[in-house]
Amino acid sequence: MLLVQLIINGVQVGALYGLTAVGFSLIFGATKIFHFAHGASFAISAYVFYYLYAVLNLGWPISILACSIAVVLFGVTLDRYVYVPIQRSNGSFFTVFVASFGVAVVIQNLIGTVFGRGFISVSSALSKSVEVAPGLYVAPTAGIAIVIAAACFVALQLFLGRTNIGIALRALSESPALVRTFGLNPKAISTCAFALGSLLVVPAAVLTSMTSGLNAAIGGRVMLISIAATIVGGVGSLRGAACAGLLLGVAENLAVWRFDPQWSEAVTFIILFTFIVLRPSGFFGRVVTS
């Protein structure tokens, strides 16, 4: 039963990892910007939700809507007023990365100053596990995480495959010059990528605030998982990032089955290292979307 329990836990965690990683991969794939502040987007979303839902008791629809707006505004503002000016003045890939890293550090400290640096969590009946079979405990958040992750991924695939802006996003990742030739504005499409990528962290951030809880430094871990999942899944592949996120979550939990729990964190790096050595292109190579 322990094995089944760990697989269920792993799928829940992996679904959230997958969502976060897909957001990062979408932004990176479309804009080629190493958006290190993606972890900060996660933290902003989680803390805004915590403040509105747990402190101001505004109810979850308003809280989720507000944290979605906040995180989209953050992503878009960062693109428009930090990344674009750097790129305009011929800033290198590395310069943009450093700027993004700096923003992430600033946001972490701002959150620490405003909310404190200790642990906080949103109390919810949804995170309390119930025994569904002897020795098998499942919380409603597990089902919610899996369903929302699947729904978001399907919706994203439809958006990218069937809408003009989605097709433009995929085109931008292949050739910005071609996008311009067709009379489209790469900056506007880039803004859309940031909005969409940032929005994808919201479900994971909200559910994490209920299950694992938050601290000001949570963005760093989110970025670590996002980067690992993007590389393991194949840079630019959303399907790959989703699958890799799921793989990392399940592997992390399954490691606890036979090894000391200490190894569960190392599993992420072992998988990453294995892929870099044996299959550098990741699960699905460099395809924007399937």
Partner 1 sequence: MLSPRKIAVLAFSMFVSFVGQASAEDFRIGAIFPLSGANADYGDLYMGATELAVSHLNEAKALGGKLSIAYEDSQALPQQGVIAMNKLVNVEKVSYVLSAFTGVSKAISTTAMRSHTVAVNGGGVGPDLAELGEYFWNVIPLANFEVRAMAPYLVQKRGLKRVVLVYVDDPLGQSIKRELESSLPPLGGMLAEALSVPSNAQQFSGIAARVRDANPDVVYIASFGAQQSQIIKQLRDNGVTQQLASYSGFAIPAIANLPEAKGALFTTQRIDWNSEDPVTKRFTQEYQLKTKRAPTAYAANYYNAVLLFGTLASAVQKAGQPVTGENLLAKRREIGAFDLVGGRLSFEKDGTIRSAMQINEVDGGAGKVVEVVAAP
Q: Establish if 137 lies at the interface with partner 1 (CB under 8 A).
A: yes
Beta-ladder partners of 137 = 131
Query: Which residue intervals of 131-200 are DSSP H helices?
Result: 140-162, 164-174, 176-181, 186-199
Question: Which residue in the set 218, 238, 247, 271 belongs to the binding site for partner 1 (CB under 8 A)?
Answer: 218
Residues between 175 and 214 with contacts to partner 1, criterion CB under 8 A? 211-213
Residue 113 vs 163, nearer CB to partner 1 = 113
Q: Which region, judged by CB under 8 A, interacts with partner 1, from 43-51, 108-116, 143-151, 161-169?
A: 108-116
Question: Which residue in the set 20, 31, 45, 127 belongs to the binding site for partner 1 (CB under 8 A)?
Answer: 127
User: How far is the C-alpha of 28 from the C-alpha of 10, rounded, in Å?
Assistant: 26
**Other CB atoms closer than 10 Å to residue 44's CB: what's the count?**
24
Q: How far is the CB of 41 from partner 1 (least distance, A)?
A: 18
Residue 190 vs 253, nearer CB to partner 1 = 253
User: DSSP code of 126?
Assistant: G
Q: Establish if 117 lies at the interface with partner 1 (CB under 8 A).
A: yes
What is each CA distance from 186 to 88, 173, 182, 257, in whole angstroms? 13, 10, 10, 48
Contacts of 149 (CB under 8 A, 6+ apart): 15, 16, 18, 19, 203, 242
Size of the residue set binding partner 1 (CB under 8 A): 40
Q: Establish if 140 lies at the interface with partner 1 (CB under 8 A).
A: no
Contacts of 21 (CB under 8 A, 6+ apart): 225, 226, 229, 230, 233, 241, 242, 244, 245
Residues between 9 and 38 with contacts to partner 1, criterion CB under 8 A? 9-10, 12-13
Q: How far is the CB of 118 from partner 1 (least distance, A)?
A: 4
Residues at the interface with partner 1 (CB under 8 A)? 1-2, 5-6, 9-10, 12-13, 109, 112, 116-119, 121, 123, 127-129, 131, 135, 137, 139, 211-213, 215-218, 221, 252-253, 255-256, 260-262, 264-265
